[in-house]
């Protein structure tokens, strides 16, 4: 078994655990609001890579945080991510009928239920983190919530998406693309990487290392996404190839060309690994994750 | 000056303070995400009655909670309420072009920005409450967040809206209408009424009194809304009259007829006042609020 394969096993193992946690945390389908619950479960329990939960768990293990607590935070992050995908797919936004190879929520249910399922998944994320089962210390819970709210909001994910949809031609400059992606993808990556450090009340140096790691890895992840969109196979990415390019959406590939974009991703990956040196041998699985992120084909 | 007028002054006074608080808490319009911030400010700083913030402040004063803390919680509740109005107005939901006499957010901006502005206002609500300026005790902050998340989510506001949109004929039975309204409007009313008690770590009896008050007042408020929709003047309600009736939406007026609906609202108002007896004379402004809610004409 090579390194890519054993890492993929570990990622799948985490994904399974997070799916079990989400299954327990999202109420079962019942009552007159059953359709909404069904839409929430459809979106959150689908077959995602669970890359953000993976970083919550693996970065949290650096600080010996117990897995039960980490899985709750990981589930909350995935609720936020799932809600953003539901809303991004809406006809008024990216208008995607497919997500992870299945009908997106507004196609499988309705636009109205897609809006509400996203809304309710966001609320659920904060409900999960605020519960004492997540961490016995209320100060830690309040800080996790504060960071998650900022990462999700106008200065984070939602703001990044607003910049993304505001640009429909190819004029976006590299610094603005990087800023947009830092907000849209990077903020939630950073929250995921730092959540364990918050729970452990770790040193400023640990936060600096994790923040740098998340920043570089998040951009590398996004560039790889752009490359896959431009060149990948639909069967592996589960969405229409070249769709973002056709829509003239801002991307690293458009701004830099595919060769330079790939070079940039490799440079960022090397930088991300250097940030991990702070944690020594305990971070070996995170080092493998860097290779996985930039070498993946789907 | 009669009681209705002096109460209206007090309500307006609270509304002004909450608007000032919201103006300070929502970042100014700047940067590439400026359009999103503009849409958030347009929705949250418009001319709402601020009835939920009013209950946060006036119920909080029963426990001598300082106004600065209460205003932050009130602003957070209003962010949640404003986000729900933005999303409710979307073409895929109630398809309302007017809100409070102005273009609704998706008409003034775009559907995409309306979705994102609602999303970001929800995140902002939790960001505000989780900040230590809201309350020095992190346990109180975590509990406020937990309650606000539940009130907003699938078992509260979003779930109630899902039931509402699922019913497009007139067959909804009274118990289900009441349940739908308790979730859609009542849950956030209850949070607003109880927030001060959470901050004061008040007795179970105080919570029972406030919960009963909020429950009865919330239903009375909704019945009055339905009556205004059926009979009111567009110039006062700021939206098209009879719209809900035309759409065959579930309402107390449809289920009970206008006479019985008005009688029910009066009965609930009397019950709401009885719950306030627990607080004696200190609750006189809340008693006036009950009359205001059921006698209002806009």
Classify residue B142 by burial, with Cβ atoms within 10 Å: 0-12, 13-18, 19+: buried
Q: Answer yes or no: is pLDDT of B238 > 70.
A: no
Query: Distance, in angstroms, between B162 CA and closest chain A CA?
Result: 6
Residue in A37, A139, A153 nearest the CB of B120: A153
Residue, of B127 and B6, whose pLDDT is higher: B127
Q: Are A102 and A85 in contact (CB under 8 A)?
A: no
* Cα–chain center distance at A234: 20
Least confident of A144-158, A164-178, B111-125, B134-148: A164-178
Which B positions 221-260 lie with beta carbon below 8 A of chain A?
none
Tell me what pLDDT residue B249 has.
65
Model confidence at B156: pLDDT above 70: yes
- Set out the domains of chain B in order of their start, with CATH numbers: 3-295 (1.10.600.10)
Which residues in chain A have their CB less than 8 angstroms from residue B123's CB? Answer: 122, 149-150, 152-154, 156, 158
| Contact across the interface for B162 and A119, Cβ inside 8 Å | no
Give the pLDDT of residue B287: 95
Write down the pLDDT at residue B101. Answer: 87
Does A176 contact B at CB distance below 8 Å? yes
- A173 contact residues in B (CB cutoff 8 A): none
Question: Number of C-alpha atoms within 13 angstroms, CB side, residue B37?
Answer: 17
- For an interface test with A, the pick among B142, B156, B247 (most A C-beta atoms closer than 10 Å) comes out as B142
Higher-pLDDT residue of A165 and B5 is A165
pLDDT tens, residue by residue, B187-208: 999 999 999 999 999 999 999 9
- pLDDT, tens digit (0-9, with 9 covering 90-100), for B80-107: 999 999 999 999 999 999 988 899 999 9
Between B187 and B178, where is the model more confident?
B187
Establish if B179 touches chain A: CB-CB under 8 angstroms.
Answer: yes
CA dihedral sign of residues B168, B169, B172, B177 = positive
> Average pLDDT of B178-182?
91
Q: How far apart are CA A227 and CA A262, in angstroms?
A: 8
- Note the pTM of the prediction, 2 decimals: 0.94
Mean pLDDT, chain B, integer? 91
**Facing residue for A159 by CB, picked from B112, B120, B146:** B120
Q: Is the pLDDT of residue B122 over 90?
A: yes
Residue B253, pLDDT score: 85
Reported in sequence order, the residue ranges of chain A that DSSP labels E, i.e. its strands, are 98-99, 102-103
Cβ <8 Å between B116 and A87: yes
Q: Comparing C-alpha atoms, which of A99, A91, A4, A93 is closest to residue A46?
A: A99
Note the pLDDT of residue A219: 92
Distance CA B35, CA B39 (A): 6
Angle between helix A204-231 and A258-276 (nearest 10): 160
Spans of chain A below 50 pLDDT: 1, 234-235
Tell me whether B70 touches chain A (CB under 8 Å).
no
Nearest 5°: the CA angle B8, B12, B16 is 175
Nearest to A146 by CA among A212, A211, A195, A184: A195
Q: What is the CA radius of gyration of chain A?
A: 18
**Which residue of chain A comes nearest to B110, CA vs CA?**
A92
- B98-99/A102-103 β-pairing: unpaired
Share of chain B above pLDDT 70, in %: 90
Query: What span, in angstroms and rounded, lies between the C-alpha atoms of A150 and A91?
Result: 26
pLDDT value at position A172? 66
Q: Report CB contact under 8 Å: A32, B131.
A: no
Candidates A128, A7, A28, A29; CA nearest to A71 is A128
CB contact under 8 A, B115 and A132: no
CA atoms within 13 A of residue A175's CA, in its CB half-sphere: 2
Distance, CA of A146 to CA of A233 (rounded, Å): 39
For residue B113, what is the nearest residue in chain A, using CA coordinates? Answer: A162
Question: Per-residue pLDDT tens for A223-278?
Answer: 998 898 887 654 455 555 556 555 556 678 888 888 999 999 999 999 999 999 99
Q: What is the Cα–Cα distance from A290 to A4, expressed in whole angstroms? A: 11
Residue A28 is classified by DSSP as: P
Question: Which candidate from A32, A87, A143 shows the least CB-CB separation from B163?
Answer: A32
Q: How many Å is the maximal CA-CA distance in chain A?
A: 54
Chain A within 8 Å of B123 (Cβ-Cβ)? yes
B168 in contact with A, Cβ within 8 Å: no
Q: Find out whether B27 and A154 touch, Cβ atoms under 8 Å.
A: yes
Residue A146 has its nearest CB partner, among B127, B150, B160, at B127
Give the residue from A211, A111, A62, A35 showing the smallest Cα distance to B112: A111
List for chain A the helix, strand, coil content (%; round to 5). Answer: 75, 0, 25
**DSSP letter, residue A31:** S
Which of B112, B135, B155 should we substitute to test contact with A (largest number of A Cβ atoms within 10 Å)?
B112
**Closest by CA position to B48, among listed B100, B120, B117:** B100
Q: Taking CA atoms, what residue in A is nearest to B129?
A: A146
Residue A141 with chain B: CB contacts under 8 Å: 138, 142
Q: Is A173 exposed, middle or buried (0-12, 13-18, 19+ CB in 10 A)?
A: exposed
**ipTM (interface pTM):** 0.93
User: What residue of A is the nearest CA neighbor of B126?
Assistant: A149
DSSP calls for B49-111: --HHHHHHHHHHHTTT--HHHHHHHHHHHHHHHHHHHHHHHSTTTT--SEETTEE-HHHHS-H
Residues 6 or more apart in contact with residue B146 via CB below 8 angstroms = A127, A130, A131
∠ CA A60-B146-B156, rounded to 5°: 125
Write down the pLDDT at residue B230. 82
Q: Which residues of B are less than 8 Å from A160 in CB distance?
A: 33
- Considering only CB atoms, B119 lies closest to which of A122, A146, A176, namely A122
B141 touches chain A (CB under 8 A): yes
Cβ within 8 Å, pair B152-A179? no
Q: Is B95 on the interface with A (CB under 8 A)?
A: no
């Amino acid at each position: 078994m090579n390194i890519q394969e054993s890492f993929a096993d570990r990622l799948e193992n985490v994904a399974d655990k997070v799916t079990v946690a989400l299954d327990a945390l999202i109420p079962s389908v019942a009552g007159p609001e059953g359709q909404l619950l069904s839409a929430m479960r459809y979106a959150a329990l689908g077959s995602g890579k669970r890359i953000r939960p993976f970083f919550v768990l693996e970065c949290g293990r650096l600080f010996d945080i117990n897995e039960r607590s980490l899985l709750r935070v990981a589930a909350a992050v995935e609720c936020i991510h799932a809600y953003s995908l539901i809303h991004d797919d809406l006809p008024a936004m990216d208008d995607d009928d497919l997500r992870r190879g299945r009908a997106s929520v507004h196609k499988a249910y309705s636009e109205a239920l897609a809006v509400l399922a996203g809304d309710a998944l966001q609320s659920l994320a904060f409900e999960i983190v605020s519960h004492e089962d997540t961490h016995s210390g209320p100060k830690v819970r309040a800080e996790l919530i504060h960071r998650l709210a900022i990462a999700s909001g106008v200065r984070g994910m939602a703001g990044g998406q607003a910049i993304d949809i505001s640009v429909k031609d190819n004029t976006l400059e590299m610094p603005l693309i990087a800023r947009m992606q830092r907000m849209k993808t990077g903020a939630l990556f950073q929250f995921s990487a730092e959540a364990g450090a918050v729970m452990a009340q770790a040193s400023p140096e640990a936060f600096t290392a994790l923040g740098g790691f998340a920043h570089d890895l998040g951009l590398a992840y996004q560039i790889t996404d752009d490359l896959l969109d431009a060149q990948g196979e639909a069967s592996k990415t589960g969405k229409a190839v070249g769709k973002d390019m056709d829509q003239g959406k801002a991307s690293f590939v458009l701004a830099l060309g595919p060769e330079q974009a790939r070079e940039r991703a490799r440079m960022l990956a090397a930088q991300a690994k250097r940030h991990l040196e702070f944690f020594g041998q305990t971070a070996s699985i995170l080092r493998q994750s860097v290779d996985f992120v930039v070498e993946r084909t789907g």
